[in-house]
Amino acid sequence: MRVSRRIEQLPPYLFVQISRKIEERRKRGEKVISFAIGDPDIPTPGHIVDRLCREARAPANHRYPETYGLDEVRQAVVEWYHKRFGVALDRDKEVLPLIGSKEGVGHVAFCFIDPGDVALIPDPGYPVYSVSTMFAGGEPYLMPLTEENGFLPDLEKVPAEAARRAKMMWINYPNNPTGAVAEGDFFERVVSFAKKHDIVVCHDAPYTEVAYDGYRPMSFLQVKGAMDVGLEFHSWSKSYNMTGWRIGMAVGNAEMRDALMRFKSNLDSGIPQAIQLAAIEALRVDQKCIADHNAVYQSRRDRMLKVLREMGLWVQTPRAALYLWARIPDGYTSADYAARILDATGVVVTPGTGYGRHGEGYIRLSVTAADADIDEGLSRLLAWSRAGGAGK
Ligand SMILES: Cc1ncc(COP(=O)(O)O)c(C=O)c1O
């Protein structure tokens, strides 16, 4: 059997590799503590689960759903976006439910990229942006996210030729993996760049609700002109601890939304209706659960920051998202440093290069392990560092 070149060329998916390593060690009886994956450990709030259980029993929800989702779920998204961001959306033209935002993020390249086209992609970044561009026959042009630039791409450094060939640009704030946030002035620069070069913008925004110290991240669609050029991908996953339920949304420019809807309607049959109805419950009922989750993450963030700094690593205090992006000492690659930590302590951290070559020199730690595991993991890291750390 011969698989396609598309599959042959695929780099191994980082998190699958990490999960395998964890599994191997666990089978040997070791207690592995993982700071590797951004998957909330706190359960989905009870009122959302109750609604799913009720809806699962209704025969009307046992049949094929529609790709474009229930009117009620799109209406709930319209109301939530208006209340949360002051953004007005058309329920029937500007909102599309997704089978988790990853599904839409992965498919949208096929709507705008023809073979030979370029997509402008942040590096480090969520790996799906580059892989989906390549699947569609396009070429990623990587925009470095650097500490000096607050982990925002410097649009002035995009070469004229790349801008000329580009059909789309990816941005993602609050950012995975760096934890950086963006404000309106950056989004405005993105809109004018997109208009000047006639490219569409995809803003991947699943972390706007995970924020600390009272900070409220923006939607890209809040800036003038964004609806002319952009589609925003959002999700229930991180806001309501619903990663396992697979429901997200694309909202924004009607033509872009229509292209994605046409593509998807040839591939999938939508999101199970009981899940759509439970997702309405999440958006409509008291949003206090979000503040409660953020308080837990913030306390973990602070404990982790303290230990990482005691270990001598440079790390900024993230204002949002689930991650700490720590600069490792000179003289190690991030893969090497992460491997040494795992070997010596049984703690899993993600090497920055898993998100692209500009992630070299960093490791990423997620705040989504249980509190007791966080504390045990941190004391292992501290003991390792005090005993000489990677230099031992
Ligand atoms: C930047 C980014 N985009 C998209 C996703 C996918 O989220 P979902 O669960 O909605 O598919 C993730 C998940 O970790 C992410 O970090």
| Residues carrying CATH 3.90.1150.10, the chain | 5-44+288-386
Region 310-327 average pLDDT: 97
Region 103-112 average pLDDT: 98
CA atoms of 201 and 135, how far apart (whole Å): 19
- Residue to probe by mutation, ligand 1, list 37, 98, 105, 170, most atoms within 8 Å of CB: 105
Instruction: Find how far residue 276's CA is from the centre of its chain.
Output: 21
Q: What's the pLDDT at 391?
A: 75
Ligand 1 within 6 A of CB of 237: yes
CA atoms of 280 and 133, how far apart (whole Å): 32
254: left (phi over 0), alpha (psi -120 to 50) or beta: alpha
* Cβ pair 179, 318 in contact under 8 A: yes
H/E run at residue 123: strand 118-123
Ligand 1 within 6 A of CB of 38: yes
Region 228-232 average pLDDT: 98
Q: How large a percentage of the chain has pLDDT more than 90?
A: 91
Q: For residue 126, give the ligand 1 atom closest to its CA.
A: 1
Q: What's the pLDDT at 119?
A: 98
Region 74-97 average pLDDT: 98
CA atoms of 86 and 284, how far apart (whole Å): 16
Q: What's the pLDDT at 10?
A: 85
Beta strand pairing status for 323-327 and 314-315? antiparallel
CA atoms of 46 and 286, how far apart (whole Å): 12
CA atoms of 392 and 390, how far apart (whole Å): 5
What are the φ/ψ torsions at residue 169 (nearest 5 degrees)? -130, 140
**Which candidate, 216, 264, 310, places its Cα nearest to that of 97?**
264
Starting at the edge strand found earlier in the chain, the sheet holding 230-235 runs 95-98, 248-252, 230-235, 200-204, 166-171, 118-123, 139-144
C-alpha 101 to ligand 1 mean position (Å): 6
CA atoms of 90 and 78, how far apart (whole Å): 7
Residue 389, pLDDT above cutoff 90: no
Ligand 1 within 6 A of CB of 334: no
C-alpha 206 to ligand 1 mean position (Å): 6
Q: Encode pLDDT of 327-382 as tens digits.
A: 999 999 998 999 899 989 999 999 999 999 999 999 999 999 999 999 999 999 99
Which CATH number is 5-44+288-386 given? 3.90.1150.10
C-alpha 233 to ligand 1 mean position (Å): 9
Q: How many CB atoms lie within 10 A of CB 262?
A: 11
Which has the minimum average pLDDT: 4-18, 180-194, 207-221, 250-264? 4-18
Q: For residue 175, give the ligand 1 atom closest to its CA.
A: 1
CA atoms of 138 and 115, how far apart (whole Å): 5
Q: Is the pTM of this model over 0.85?
A: yes
3-class state of residue 118 by DSSP: strand
The DSSP bridge partners found for residue 234 are 249
Q: What's the pLDDT at 392?
A: 58
Which CATH number is 46-284 given? 3.40.640.10
* Cβ pair 233, 105 in contact under 8 A: yes
Residue 270, pLDDT above cutoff 80: yes
- 390 or 97, greater pLDDT: 97
* Cβ pair 233, 203 in contact under 8 A: yes
Q: What's the pLDDT at 256?
A: 98
C-alpha 330 to ligand 1 mean position (Å): 31
Residue nearest atom 5 in ligand 1 by C-alpha distance: 102
Region 38-46 average pLDDT: 95
| Residues carrying CATH 3.40.640.10, the chain | 46-284
Ligand 1 within 6 A of CB of 45: no
C-alpha 222 to ligand 1 mean position (Å): 21
